[in-house]
Structure 1
Amino acid sequence: MTRSASTTVQSVDAPLTASATFLVLSITDGPSAIKKVRSTLAKISDISKNVAIRDLGASFACTVGIGSDVWDSVTGLPRPAELHPFREVKGNVHTAVSTLGDLLFHIRAERRDLCFEFERQLMDLLGDSVSVVDETIGFRYFDLRDLLGFVDGTANPVGPAVPPSVLVAEEDAPAIGGSYIVIQKYLHDLKAWRTLSTEKQEAIIGRTKLDNVELDDVAEGQQAAHKTLATIEDENGDEYSILRDNMPFGAPGAGEFGTYFIGYSRRLWVIEKMLERMFIGEPPGLHDRILDFSTAVTGTVFFAPSASLLTSLDDE
């Protein structure tokens, strides 16, 4: 997908795959670290081709996000208009925490070994210029369900609706072809969740569990379902969509069960508004009841620039 002959877009709309790696890194201090990071980011396309060629049917892709704190030093280019660190959202009961992260690599493929191999080559190039903040391995769970048992990502835009929802356009010319990314790692209390009846779970999510049929909204002023709170509309009733590439993760032996939320958007404020509605409530005080069973342990904002911009970063 391209925006123009001169701007090549990263694979933000790559298909959902069986495996994904979410790698968040921090850049070490010093100009030598920045130089090595720039050089490596310029080679992302080459590394991707080197890995993808091993199985062209595996839908390999990697999207790179750059954080607000290092945007200036890494790119030396004008900042995307909305780029800033993740803003903590504190409700009466739950908090969307803000955590550190300079670089995001969203790596995905139908085969886990391709994700592994790309990450190995990437980290060899980066060396001691970075440290790992978080590495989470996601997997596809049955028919695109999360570990709570519900189909995830139903509201994603499809086909021609993807670019206008995800890619920055003429409203911010220096950032054209890029996309804002928000990540949050949620840990689930499955034991507590499973004490609820299917009907209560469905009321919290806003969809039926078996066949994923959307339920009617509750009356105004009552506690809304997750699907309602995560829907953002303007004063004319037009909906602003984002692209979610969420993946389950976990380790049953360690009692860890979670969902890695990753949202791509043309407009950062849309995701921020979703989080306000979830954590503060709409109306305020009536928070998203899914948060009573799912705790956000990370929260970071990145911007995925065009592939053309990444290629241009090689100092040599």
Structure 2
Amino acid sequence: MPTQQVIAPPARAAMFLTLTVPPGSERAVRAVLAGASDLAKSVAFRNPRTDLVVTIGLGAEYWDRCIDLPRPRDLHPLPEFRGPVHTAPSTPGDVLVHLRAPHMDMCFEYAWLLTQQLGAHATVVDEVHGFSYYDERDLLGFVDGTANPIGDDAAASALVQPDRDAQYAGSSYVVVQKYLHDMEAWQSLSVEAQERVIGRYKLNDVEIPDALKATDSHVAMTTIVDEQGVEHDILRDNLPFGEIGSAEFGTYFIGYAGNPLVTEQMLHNMFIGRPEGTHDRILDFSTPVTGALFFVPTLGFLDGIDDLALPAPAAAEPGPGEIPAVPQHAEGAEVLGAPDRTGADDATTPDVALGLDPTPTDPTAGTSDDTSGAATAPAADDTPHDLGIGSLRSPSRSARKDTPTS
């Protein structure tokens, strides 16, 4: 059963795990990740009629500690996007585990076994169980992911292309954010007001024409078009989540891209503004509480990760020793799990602090308390994060494809 399958059909159930790895555990975690695809086969074989897709991403700081190879070109900590009203935080994350299946039990079983193998070598700092909700809608009542690219366009958008980073071609990057919704405030709006916020009609999921669409709508703010009129997409696999007792409801945003600067430009537009000083109206009802960027290597790279050279500090440490045995279910025991849950302004220039300017800076500033709204590009010894699509402008009605929604 495949891991690192970035492009996959929408799943009925998913789990999103963000883990941190303490210093001294780099080698032990690498050993477990090298067996991730074999573990997926073991879990999926017990229900061969369904698919389990396991995708694992590595954070920038963990890469530096566990792999003695140059960082992938666009791997860096996700900056914080601080606007005049709303902020997208940057939160810790060394490893992302994205699980997709028709039933939650398969996701749960894999996550349980994997974390038992990791033991004290990794800590789950965020865990979200997502579910497909009616006709692919989020809890706000709108269809999510309508404009995802498909076929060859999906591969071109979601996977690293050889002309961008030949060493890591076929890999991907993924940005994740956990958004919490103010459902009471949202439900107080009329349907027409909700449609103005999103930029789509609620019932039929048709995009509102550019001439009628609010310039601060979610659709308008997250459409990225370069100066040649080419739209740049990402591949979303968002799912809703919620807990009735705690009244916590939200959307888990997960966006794969061959160039993560496209996703970051979307976040810049949403939080800092296009033009600056404005913001995406959806943020008045939906607040991000996490945010991280990960590199998703190819399956071959992940399977062989334990054979790669270690950086000097990790190589000098003692070996990880025995990995704890994975408990097996007793013959006839019930498998744990859950049942199936059946137009923007005419001209704008990208913020140079996003890395669209060739001058590299310090990548760690994304977690600073700087209130300027500027996100920060990589350190001087890293490859500059040049989006490579020129200055960005708002889409014209004739130049753009269907607009992605998150």
**Normalising to structure 2: TM-score of the pair?**
0.73
Cα distance in 2 between the residues matched to 1:161 and 1:63: 20
Cα distance in 1 between the residues matched to 2:7 and 2:197: 29
Query: Is 1:10 aligned with 2:4?
Result: yes
Paired position in structure 2 for 1:4: none
One-letter amino acid of the counterpart of residue 63, structure 1: T
Give unmatched runs, 5+ long, in structure 1: 1-7
Cα distance in 1 between the residues matched to 2:294 and 2:37: 19
Paired position in structure 2 for 1:173: 166
* 1:78–1:174 Cα contact (<8 Å) kept: no
Task: Indicate the SS of the match to 1:239.
Answer: coil
How do 1:1-316 and structure 2 match up within 5 A?
10-30=4-24, 33-170=25-162, 171-218=164-211, 223-315=215-307
One-letter amino acid of the counterpart of residue 185, structure 2: A
Cα distance in 1 between the residues matched to 2:290 and 2:193: 27
Cα distance in 2 between the residues matched to 1:314 and 1:125: 15
Q: Residues 141 and 219 of structure 1: is their aligned pair in 2 closer, same or farther, counting only changes over 3 Å? A: closer
What do the CA deviations read for 1:144-201 (whole angstroms, capped 9, x no partner)?
1111000000110111211111111212122111111100000000000011000010
Q: Residues 219 and 139 of structure 1: is their aligned pair in 2 closer, same or farther, counting only changes over 3 Å? A: closer
* 1:223–1:287 Cα contact (<8 Å) kept: no
Q: CA deviation at 1:71?
A: 0.7
One-letter amino acid of the counterpart of residue 191, structure 1: E
What do the CA deviations read for 1:56-102 (whole angstroms, capped 9, x no partner)?
33221010000011112223222111111010111110001110000
* 1:91–1:279 Cα contact (<8 Å) kept: yes
Over aligned residues, Cα RMSD in angstroms? 1.6
* 2:58–2:294 Cα contact (<8 Å) kept: yes
Q: CA deviation at 1:40?
A: 0.8
What do the CA deviations read for 1:97-122 (whole angstroms, capped 9, x no partner)?
11000000001100111001101110
One-letter amino acid of the counterpart of residue 215, structure 1: I
Determine which structure has more spread, i.e. the larger CA radius of gyration. Answer: 2
Task: Indicate the SS of the match to 2:152.
Answer: helix
Cα distance in 1 between the residues matched to 2:265 and 2:95: 24
Cα distance in 2 between the residues matched to 1:233 and 1:55: 43
* 2:158–2:235 Cα contact (<8 Å) kept: yes
What do the CA deviations read for 1:205-234 (whole angstroms, capped 9, x no partner)?
0101111011012579x6331111111111
Q: Residues 235 and 177 of structure 1: is their aligned pair in 2 closer, same or farther, counting only changes over 3 Å? A: same
Deviates more, 1:209-218 or 1:51-60: 51-60
One-letter amino acid of the counterpart of residue 265, structure 1: A
Cα distance in 2 between the residues matched to 1:130 and 1:9: 20
Cα distance in 2 between the residues matched to 1:142 and 1:75: 42
Count matched residues: 306
One-letter amino acid of the counterpart of residue 306, structure 2: D
Q: CA deviation at 1:291?
A: 0.1
Structure with higher strand content: 1
What do the CA deviations read for 1:222-260 (whole angstroms, capped 9, x no partner)?
633111111111101111110000010110111100000
Cα distance in 2 between the residues matched to 1:217 and 1:296: 27
Give unmatched runs, 5+ long, in structure 2: 309-406
Q: CA deviation at 1:35?
A: 1.3
